[in-house]
Amino acid sequence: MRLTIKERFLLRMIIPDKGSLVTGLILRRLHDMLAFDDKTVYRWNIVDTPVGPSWGRDRKDPTKKLPGADTVCWNFDFSNAATEIICDALKGLEAEKKLPYECLSLWAKFFKTDRLIDEAAVSVGAEELGDVSSIVTQGEPGRNGSTHPEPVKEIPESLRR
């Protein structure tokens, strides 16, 4: 599954931080997978701000965005147990009517429904939801001894929207 920087932050925010012993082990692995390594933090200029995380701004001129900052994606292969935890968290937010619109893309990915995203794109504007087709990463966490996949700049035409 391809996740953007924003989706990685959102997932870390919505998954629980407590659970049974087994769930806790899965949650720890999940949080570690979604974390950003130093190389990614530097490359995409990920910083904490008083209003939350920010990324993709040029260091020399913060008014300029780095190309691809909103569309860069990493491939993740979540276990069935991790996927179930994520889906339960999303369903819980939806049941409480507290699912942020920023999570619509996550909902579509985990529940494999594009209709929800298409309807949301019409009502909120496609640029708000972002296009994840220009840059992706290959590999899985753990590749080359790292816990994080490395980005590549091109994807096959067949994978673009």
Q: Mind listing the pLDDT tens digit for each residue in 64-118?
A: 999 988 889 999 999 999 999 999 999 999 999 999 989 999 999 999 875 555 5
For residue 106, give the nearest of 125, 86, 124 by alpha carbon: 86
In a domain, 124, yes or no: yes
Strands 136-138 and 73-75: unpaired
Position of tokens 């904490």? 48
- Work out how many domains the chain is built from and give that number: 1
Position of tokens 């968290």? 89
Position of tokens 């992706």? 136
How distant is the alpha carbon of residue 18 from its chain centre? 21
In a domain, 41, yes or no: yes
In a domain, 37, yes or no: yes
How many alpha carbons lie under 13 Å from residue 62 in its C-beta half-sphere? 6
In a domain, 42, yes or no: yes
In a domain, 105, yes or no: yes
* Gap between the Cα atoms of 111 and 41, Å rounded: 29
Strands 2-4 and 136-138: unpaired
The residue range of the domain holding 97 is: 2-155
* Structure-model confidence comparison of residues 134 and 41, the more confident one: 41
pTM of the model: 0.68
| Type of residue at 129 | L
pLDDT at 114: 57
